[in-house]
Amino acid sequence: MFKIFTYLADFICYTLLKLNPENKFTDALHFFIEDTSKIFVLLIVMIYLIALIRASMNLELVRHKLQGKSRWFGYTAGSLFGAITPFCSCSSIPMFLGFTAAGIPTGVTLSFLITSPLLNEVAIVLLGSLLGVRFTLTYLIAGLSVGIIGGIFFDFINADQMLQPMAEKISKGENSTINLNSDKKKIQLKDRHEFAKSEALEIFTRVFKWVLIGVGIGAGLHGFVPESWIIEHLGGKTWWNVPAAALLGIPLYSNASGMIPIIETLLGKGLPVGTALTFMLSTVGASFPEFLMLKQVLKPRLLTYLFLYFLIAFTFIGLLINLLF
């Protein structure tokens, strides 16, 4: 399904502009066109569809089902659902907004947001074929654990109180001309459509510039940071190479499938397994473009907690894997 955005980027870069595919600038521009078009379509379509469903949904029932005894199920379900959705970190944000709009607890939505870019079925198949079962299982367990533990942690610190006004408004069902607590039978399809269209447009107008800025930065780094530089600075076996890999991965931006060939090369050139795993987790799960877009949804305090959580979790996983392997 997402191949259409690759074809669009191919057409613009290679057919219309006739750029050299081997040029780093072309690589960065291709990356930018492909990801911004994909995120824009996902942002509009997913918010519209979820808002359309929400207009006929009993939000109080959803909240009730995902509280108390069901909350632990929610963390696991959020992480598992994230694992089967083929989204990168920035593409997961429309789903995050939709879940917030549906009244799902913030910790559960963050479990999804954390896990979604880290894991998907394509990445798992590629990992298994290129890097072996041991690395694949380690990566799978690490990704799910980071998502589930993250959901627990962020609910523990009351992350729902650290949402931006827009997200708070959405979570309370106030972003609409429709009274979502009214009798659903009286809400016509036309009203639901107007509600969904209004919500999709409002959210899109708030975040689209951050999509352009964030993906633009990620595309530049993606196109111009060479693998040899990473090997030179992270190839040693000292403990600080692992947190350095986590820090280096955060400004970069790629999806799991795109990172696998790079990680295969880095491992082949001697990068320790735990360091490589941390770099991959950080790049696909905690990109700087993602944080730029999330600043429209999460307050700076929560963004800081999320950044520190990623840094600590990925570093711990890398150190543990280097010790075990």
**Domain-wise residue ranges, the chain:** 3-172+207-324
* pLDDT, average across residues 50-78: 65
Q: Give me the residues paired with residue 163 across strands.
A: 298
Q: How crowded is residue 189: how many other Cβ atoms within 10 Å of its Cβ?
A: 10
**How many residues does the structure list for the chain?**
325
- In this prediction, residues 182-196 reach a mean pLDDT of 67
SS3 169: helix
Q: 């990068």: which residue's tokens?
A: 271
pLDDT at residue 243 is higher than 60: yes
CA 181 to CA 164: how far, in whole Å? 23
Confidence bin at 131 (pLDDT 50/70/90): low
pTM: 0.65
Q: Which residues of 124-149 are buried (b: 16+ CB within 10 A; e: fewer)?
A: bebbeeebeeebbebbbebbbebbbb
- Written as six digits, the tokens of 303 are 């963004």
Kindly indicate the confidence band of residue 177, based on its pLDDT and cuts at 50, 70 and 90.
very low
Question: How do residues 24-58 score in pLDDT, each as one tens digit?
Answer: 888 889 888 987 888 788 778 877 876 777 666 55
Position 182 scores a pLDDT of 45
Q: With pLDDT > 70 as the criterion, what percentage of the chain qualifies?
A: 66
Q: Which of 264, 267, 272, 268 is nearest to 238 (CA)?
A: 272
- Per-residue confidence (pLDDT) for residue 167, from 0 to 100: 63
Buried b (16+ CB within 10 A) or exposed e, 154-176: bbeeebbebbbebbbbbbebebb
Q: How far from 259 is each of 14, 45, 130, 178, CA to CA, in Å? A: 23, 27, 12, 43
Give me the pLDDT at residue 281, please.
81
List phi, psi (to 5°) of 163: -90, 150
DSSP class of residue 298 equals B
pLDDT of residue 301: 92
Q: Where do the H-state alpha helices sit in the chain?
A: 3-10, 24-54, 59-65, 70-84, 92-101, 106-118, 121-131, 133-156, 165-171, 189-224, 227-234, 241-249, 256-268, 273-285, 288-294, 300-324
| 188 pLDDT more than 90 | no
CB 323 within 8 A of CB 283: no
Give residue 140's pLDDT.
86
What band does 317 get if pLDDT is binned at 50, 70 and 90? confident
Mean pLDDT highest for which of 157-161, 190-194, 206-210?
157-161
Token pair 């694949």: residue:
136
Asked whether residue 127 carries a pLDDT value surpassing 80, the answer given is: no
Angle at 85 (CA atoms; ends 161, 321), nearest 5 degrees: 80
Task: Give the whole-angstrom CA distance, residue 42 versus residue 44.
Answer: 6
CB 293 within 8 A of CB 253: no
- CB contact at 8 A, 247 and 288: no
pLDDT surpassing 80 at residue 282:
yes
